C-alpha cells in the first residue's frame, strides 16, 4: 500500500490583535484574493497557483510565526513516516496533526483526498 503527500500551504499564524492588519497587508501584497474559509472561522486563504496556497490564520496567543502544511492521502501513514525522520507529534486532536521538526519548527499534516501520482509524491507504507 502507498500514500501520497506534498507541501501544500504556507500558513501565517497571527495573534488576534494583529490579524486584520496582517490579512490586509497580504491581500495587497500577493495579488490573488484571500478569502474567508467557511469551514474554519480562523482561516483566510488564497490559491497561489500550481499546488501552493497561502493561509492567514488567527493564532490566539503567542508571537506571529510561519508554518507549512503537508497535505496527504493518509494522515496516519504520513505522520509515521515523518516521525521516523525525526518529527515529534504535538497535537493530533483536530482534523490535522501538528508536529515539530528536528530544528524545533512547527508544521501540520492535513488530509487531502485529491492527491495522486499526478500531483504529489508517492510513499510506500
Provide the residue-wise pLDDT of the chain in tens; the chain has 125 residues: 899 999 999 999 999 999 999 999 999 999 888 998 877 777 899 988 778 899 999 987 789 999 999 999 999 999 999 999 999 999 998 889 999 999 999 999 999 999 999 999 999 98
Reported pTM: 0.90
Domains, the chain, in order of start with CATH, read 2-124 (3.10.180.10)
What's the pLDDT score for residue 9?
Answer: 93
What's the pLDDT score for residue 53?
Answer: 92
C-alpha atoms less than 13 angstroms from C-alpha of 115 in its C-beta half-sphere: 22
What is the Cα Rg of the chain in Å? 15
What's the pLDDT score for residue 93?
Answer: 85
Amino acid at each position: 500500500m502507498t500514500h501520497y503527500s506534498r507541501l501544500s500551504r504556507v500558513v501565517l499564524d497571527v495573534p488576534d490583535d494583529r490579524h486584520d492588519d496582517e490579512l490586509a497587508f497580504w491581500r495587497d501584497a500577493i495579488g490573488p484574493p484571500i478569502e474567508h474559509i467557511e469551514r474554519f472561522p480562523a482561516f483566510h486563504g488564497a490559491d497561489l497557483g500550481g499546488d501552493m496556497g497561502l493561509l492567514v490564520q488567527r493564532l490566539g496567543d503567542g508571537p506571529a510565526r510561519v508554518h507549512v502544511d503537508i497535505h496527504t492521502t493518509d494522515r496516519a501513514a504520513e505522520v509515521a513516516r515523518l516521525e521516523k525522520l525525526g518529527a515529534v507529534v504535538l497535537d493530533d486532536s483536530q482534523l490535522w496533526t501538528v508536529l515539530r521538526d528536528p530544528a524545533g519548527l512547527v508544521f501540520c499534516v492535513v488530509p487531502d483526498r485529491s492527491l495522486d501520482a499526478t500531483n504529489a509524491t508517492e510513499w510506500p507504507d
